[in-house]
A and B are shown apart, each in its own frame.
Chain A
Amino acid sequence: MMTAAQSHFAPEPVQEVVHRRNWGAWLLSFLCLGLILAVLRAGIEARILDPELFVQYLFSEQILIGARNALVLGSLAMVLACGVGLVVALMRVSGNPIMASIAAIYVYFFRGTPMLIQLLFWFNAVPIMFGEISIPLPFTDIMLLQAPTTQMVTPFVAALIGLSLAEAGYMSEIIRTGIQAVDQGQQAAARALGMTRAQVMRRVVIPQAARIILPAGGNQYIMMLKSTSLASAIGYLELLRIATDIYSSNFLVVELLTVAAVWYLVMTAFATGIQTMLEKTFPLR
């Protein structure tokens, strides 16, 4: 009571507030900066990269084609992977033991083997297994499509199939956790309104699951864009393959690897941009 009465007449001087500084973190950050500068300096002093040639190759036609090929292949493979992944995830949660087992085994195989092996398999084994691909018009002798498999399974097709099936293994697990994160109560409410199971999935579960898995999906898309470099193993002319082809004849190894790295970074920024945009357009509710 006394202080309240006093302060009414003679306000105390405002005291400065001093918060603790985390000196350790500052010290560490300066150490990090020093380390980064040392590496950069070593690179510059050793002249590992000719800036003019670097810029020249950065926008060369072949490199741009390679970058475009990588973006197209990676994006198409991601879209297919989401589709296949959704089917596998729905099989996994279907409640039917055979479907669930098939889905589990799919995930095990496609996540459990290196993508490179899968790509080589699709490119080499499929044409041996099926000599000719023919799709007849149902109930007639007319062939909609008939061609030797080697002609149809081009490096692009093999890479697309290989990357998307492998990625579907990862995506199906991501999608499954997303589906299971949508609460049961909403599903009960939707069924109580008279929606069929399929409608509940389409209208209630999948829209919310899609939003939940968006960050993880964006991450996978970035990985996929870089995984397209594996397609060089089966002769598809993507970014890394083109860069290595060029430097194996002119020995500008660092320039061309850096050029490729820059374009992968641009693609990553593109993927991140899409993800951020979607996250803002559909905020978590």
Chain B
Amino acid sequence: MSQTIISIDNVRKSYGHFEVLKGISLDVPRGQVVALLGPSGSGKSTLLRCINHLETINAGKIHVNGELIGYEERGHRLHQLPDKQIARQRRAIGMVFQSFNLFRHMTVLDNVMSGPLQVLRQNRGEARTKALELLGLVGLSDKADSYPSQLSGGQQQRVAIARTLAMEPKVLLLDEPTSALDPELSKEVISTIRGLADLGYTMMIATHEMSIASSFCDRAVFMADGHVVEDRPAAEFFAAPREARTRQFLDHYADSAH
């Protein structure tokens, strides 16, 4: 058994009276690549945003790398940590967004260096060397001095991935990384993500892209209405889904692929 790096224990999350996550439990071992599937509105983004405490939770616990995220246990209560400590915890948790979210006033290179410079307080030379190396990894060495607005969506997403990797995170959360891209541009991003899987990164990928989920994910987690409906090795999941909800969902994709 390899070591658990993300541990989600009975997590509940509500917006007002609307409960989005109704008790989610999930353990992710180091190096595993998890596809998070489910219809839109099922709570995939919310779950990912809870893992790095961009959203607070109403009940349950999330541990990353053995550390309780966002809270501190005192007696029988969980007290929310101060901003500084949460910021420190987030260093180990990389996140890639559907809409890339590059800093538009910075060059590509400055985007990639922003974490190491501002957060890790590395010196410029060191950060620069590392950033250029990462831009090489995502195939964008020649774009270092461009601004995000001068790049295609696929290129922007690869820069966003490089920016995240510059923090040397222990885990990566990817929230529909290809949903804003047309199929041609999706391909280059998918191959970048596949490369990360090969490098051994632990990843949770919320996606509607079956070519991600079925080709290089180890495990598929299907969510609906705030519950985990089915959670199995990806190969089994796609070959023989067990639950009716899952079959319905997969059939829908098989249909729309034609």
With A185-B99, A207-B105 already in contact, the answer to whether A195 and B93 are too (CB < 8 A) is no
Is B103 a contact partner of A185 (Cβ separation < 8 A)?
Answer: no
Q: How far is the CB of A208 from chain B (nearest CB, A)?
A: 5
Residues of chain A lying within 8 A (CB to CB) of residue B167: 193-194
Residues in chain A near residue B118, CB distance under 8 A: 193, 195, 199, 203
Q: Which residues of B contact A185 (CB under 8 A)?
A: 97, 99, 101
Select which of A190, A199, A282 is within 8 A of B103 by beta carbon: A190
Measured in the bound complex, the distance between the Cα atoms of B102 and A188 in whole Å is: 10
A285 touches B83 (CB 8 A): no
Complex CA distance for A189 and B90, rounded to whole angstroms: 11
Partner of A191, one of B54, B102, B147, B160: B54
**Which residues of the partner chain B approach A204 to less than 8 Å between Cβ atoms?**
103
Report if A186-B104 is in contact (Cβ < 8 Å); known contacts: A191-B90, A193-B90: yes
Interface residues of A in 169-214 (CB under 8 A from B): 183, 185-186, 188-197, 199, 203-204, 207-208, 211
Q: Which residues of B contact A282 (CB under 8 A)?
A: 105
Q: Does chain A have a CB within 8 A of B158?
A: no
A194/B90 in contact, CB under 8 A: yes
Residues of chain B in range 79-107 having any CB-CB distance to chain A below 8 Å: 83-84, 87-88, 90-91, 93-95, 97, 99, 101-105
Closest 4 pairs (CB-CB, A-B): A189-B101, A192-B95, A185-B101, A194-B91
> Shortest Cβ distance from B100 into chain A, in angstroms?
8
Binding site for B on A (CB under 8 A): 183, 185-186, 188-197, 199, 203-204, 207-208, 211, 282, 285
24 pairs of residues in contact across A and B, judged by CB atoms under 8 Å: A183-B101, A185-B101, A188-B95, A188-B101, A189-B97, A189-B101, A190-B114, A191-B90, A192-B93, A192-B94, A193-B163, A194-B87, A194-B90, A194-B115, A194-B167, A195-B119, A197-B83, A199-B118, A203-B103, A203-B114, A203-B118, A285-B104, A285-B148, A285-B149
Is the C-beta of B155 less than 8 angstroms from some C-beta in chain A? no
Q: Which residues 133-167 of B sit at the A interface, judged by CB distance below 8 A?
A: 147-149, 160, 163-164, 167
- Whether B115 contacts A186 by the Cβ 8 Å rule is no
Residues of B within 8 A of A188 (CB): 49, 54, 95, 97, 101
Chain B residues within 8 Å of A, Cβ to Cβ? 49, 52, 54, 83-84, 87-88, 90-91, 93-95, 97, 99, 101-105, 114-115, 118-119, 147-149, 160, 163-164, 167
**Bound complex: CA of A284 vs CA of B95, how far in Å?**
26
Check A186–B103 contact: CB distance below 8 A. yes
Chain B, residue nearest A202 (CB): B118
Residues of A contacting B83 in the complex (Cβ-Cβ under 8 angstroms): 196-197
Q: Judging by beta carbons under 8 Å apart, are A193 and B97 in contact?
A: no
Query: For residue B85, which residue of chain A has the nearest CB?
Result: A196
Bound CA–CA A197/B53 (angstroms):
13
- Residue in A183, A186, A192, A197 whose CB lies within 8 Å of B90: A192
User: Given contacts A208-B105, A285-B104, is CB(A193)–CB(B148) below 8 Å?
Assistant: no
A250–B83 Cα gap in the complex (Å)? 67
- Whether B97 and A211, one on each chain, are in contact in the complex, defined by CB atoms closer than 8 angstroms, is no
Residue contact B54 to A196, C-beta cutoff 8 Å: no
Contact of B119 among A193, A211, A285 (CB under 8 A): A193
Given contacts A185-B99, A186-B103, list 6 more A-B pairs with CB under 8 A.
Answer: A188-B95, A188-B97, A191-B90, A193-B90, A195-B87, A285-B148
Once the chains are docked, how many angstroms separate the CA of A191 from the CA of B87? 7
The complex places the Cα of A192 from the Cα of B149 at a distance, in Å, of: 22
Measured CA separation A233–B47 after assembly (Å): 62
Chain B contacts of A194 at CB under 8 A? 87-88, 90-91, 115, 119, 167
Tell me which residues across on chain A come within 8 A of B87, comparing CB atoms. 191, 194-196, 199
Whether A189 and B160, one on each chain, are in contact in the complex, defined by CB atoms closer than 8 angstroms, is yes
B235 → chain A closest CB, angstroms? 31
B192 to chain A, nearest CB (A): 17
A30 to B97, CA, bound (A): 57
A193–B94 CA distance with the chains assembled, in angstroms? 7
List the B side residues contacting A208 at CB < 8 Å.
104-105
Q: Smallest CB–CB gap between A141 and chain B, Å?
A: 38
Cα A196 to Cα B104 in complex, Å, equals 19
